[in-house]
Structure 1
Amino acid sequence: STTGEAMGIVQHHDAISGTEKQNVADDYAQRLSEGIDKAADVINNAYAKLLPNDSKLPMNATQFLCQYSNISECLPIEGQKQFTLTLWNPTIHPVIHHVRVPVTKEYLIHDPMGSIVSAEYVPIPATTRNIPGRKSSAQNQYIFTTSLPALGFSTYYFEAKSIITIQFIVLLTCEYRRW
């Protein structure tokens, strides 16, 4: 398999120690990238079978990896009215994890049970926004805590907040005024 071959190659002592020449490192990176792309097809097929029938996720929704999340970039979700975030725990123990999701608008976030998630909506630091090569227009991010089951996954649903303007008229009265 493409992924298996790539994993075998990058476990070579030169790849691990970093002593390979740049063109070899570029080849390793290319092979890993191709392996990840092939694995995405397998992930989509498996996810379609695991997803409950009453899920909020539209049928045939494609899963994708946000490979630049370390620089607060996830281009496929930018500007979307809704999207899902699936978090996988490959360990045999449940884990609590703090998640950062770069966004271009405000969202309501629902957990796997449909409850609204308490999340912080904060600016992405300028030092991150100004990283050379970062293409994202996201200026803010949501940060929230999630609990992931052992060897399992949790899916969170993001839905853009509607812009609602409410005007209040405040009338102050004083019953006993002396002017």
Structure 2
Amino acid sequence: MDFRLTDDQRALRAGVRELLVRRFGRERLRAAVDPPRNGSAGDEGHGVPGVLDRALWRELGEAGFFALRLPEARGGVGLGLPEAVLAFEEAGRALLPGPLVATHLAAGDVPGAATGECVVAAVDGTLVEWLDAADVVRGDVTGAVAMRSVDPLTPLHRVPR
């Protein structure tokens, strides 16, 4: 078995890395974690912890990030799990905030998820990330209560059992 990356996989990884460095580099990460000095954050949530950058989300969608595993016949990129892992590894490297996995998994089922026009959150046990930013939530969030997160970029809610 050959576990080396193919040329296409290396190109995908490099392309995702380049996009994230350009759109969510260290300066943007610092701005997202540190509170804004002048009190104004703008319409897209730049520099406000827990506020999703919708322009970046749409750009990720346009680049095919959420539709990587969706078949081409359904408007996706048509790649496999190994390629999705490479893309998500780069997102983790950049500490990219947002419900990336939930939106990726919903890409074939929720209109707009594949293109980044729709932000999808999902209940995971008794927790849901990014509830306030979500356009669609998969799971019952009745009675959800905001809670403190150890990650300053990931707002959390606890859902009663």
The higher relative CO (CA closer than 8 Å, separation ≥ 6) is in: 1
Structure 1 length as normaliser, TM-score? 0.28
Higher strand share: 1
Q: TM-score, structure 2 length as denominator?
A: 0.30
Choose 1 or 2 for highest CA Rg.
1
